[in-house]
Structure 1
Amino acid sequence: MLRLGIDIDGTVTAQDTFVPYLNRSFHLSITLDDMTDYDLTKLLNITAEEFWEWMNVHEAAIYKEAKLAEFAKQALDGLKEEHRLIYITARRSHLEDVTLDWFANRDVHYDHIELVGSHHKVEAVKKHGIDLFFEDHHGNATMIAKEAGIPVILFDSPYNQLPTDSNIIRVQNWLEAVAWINKNKHSLQHVRS
């Protein structure tokens, strides 16, 4: 049994979740392909402060309505039979109820959900003894792979195209992720005391 660490937004949820909200609020007509940087302030031509003011107003609704990523539900349903699913997200703690409701409403299994409130997930990864992490944010993937010393499955996106280290595995979708796990799970087993 592996302890799988899983990001939520852009990994379990569809990567284009924010697009309609951004288009409506900022009078744009962007698509996911236009999001070539994780930092949306560059695309929106606003300050970080303006972005977080917007997030404070809209993020609960965005997360409540977020669609599942393609194949995520079936993949997670299969993985839960053999592994522990531990979600570690940058969402802030005031979004806990919205997050738990989202999982319940979509019947997505979890063993634990941790809202760390920032993109610094390494401490939580170490605390939970994660064997393999799933992420869409290039910087997080790199930090977790290096500092926690574990492989990271990176879900390919226009905003994470920087080069990756050898222990970061780029996949197109959850089916590829599960295939990689099934092929490599025995080499990932850690001996626990």
Structure 2
Amino acid sequence: MKLFNICIDIDGTITEPYYWLDRCNKYFRTNITENQITEYYIHKVLGIARKDYEDFYENHKFEIHSNQPLRDEVQKVIKLLSLENNIYFVTARDSSLRMLTYSYLKHNEIPYDDLFILGSHYKVDTAIQLNCNIFIEDNYDNAIQLSNAGFKVLLIDANYNRKPLTENITRVYNWQQIYSTIKKMLLQSKAV
């Protein structure tokens, strides 16, 4: 029997959070640096209309998501976690990226039990459906929604999510820390 149901976001959580920056800078003729990305919604950082960014994304999303580099230790940690836990990827990506996402996870040899492509940043209902014990996320607003719904959230650090945390959210800085935090939670649950 698996111990925990672990829900994991993809973009910015298992992948490097700024992988799209070079392409974006070239397209919009800007020189935005990682340190300037203090908002999750990049159109605000760029000072452009949301529609302009959405048009850019729609035209380039397949190239953007095809070769995203993984964060350090992601493969190793998820493989270890999958031995004792259910792993569910829950992403806001839209359905047009479904096959690319399956292919990406397979190509990178990342084990999982199921994949949920929501087309929306609202993840609470899916977390409820999956009886989620821990949600690993990089989007601050998602983390707050999940926390307010009673879920434990590990918020992986990025320049755009450094805001005050609520009781159910723990900031983590890398995948090794995610692993050690989940192992502690597993030990605590076994002691109860």
TM-score when normalising by structure 2 = 0.94
Unaligned ranges ≥5, structure 2: none
Residue deviations 1:158-181 (CA, integer Å, cap 9, x gap): 100110002100010000011111
Matched letter for residue 185 of structure 2: N
Unaligned runs of 5+ in 1: none
Task: Please give the residue correspondences for 1:64-79 in structure 2 after superposition, counting only pairs within 5 Å.
Answer: 64-79=66-81
1 CA distance for matches of 2:72 and 2:130?
27
Q: Percent identity?
A: 29
Q: Distance in 2 between matches of 1:33 and 1:124?
A: 32
Quick one: distance in 1 between partners of 2:187 and 2:145?
Answer: 24
Spell out the pairing of 1:37-186 with structure 2 (5 A cutoff): 37-147=39-149, 149-186=150-187
Q: Residues 32 and 46 of structure 2 are in contact (CA less than 8 Å); yes or no, is this contact kept in structure 1?
A: no
Corresponding residue for residue 27 of structure 2: 25
* Cα distance in 2, alignment partners of residues 92 and 31 from structure 1: 27
Alignment RMSD (CA, Å): 1.2
Deviation beyond 4 Å, 4+ runs, structure 1: none
One-letter amino acid of the structure 1 residue matched with residue 76 of structure 2: Q
8 Å contact from structure 1 (residues 16, 31) kept in 2: no
Q: Per-residue deviation at 1:188?
A: 4.9
Q: Is the 8 A contact 2:8 2:90 kept in 1?
A: yes
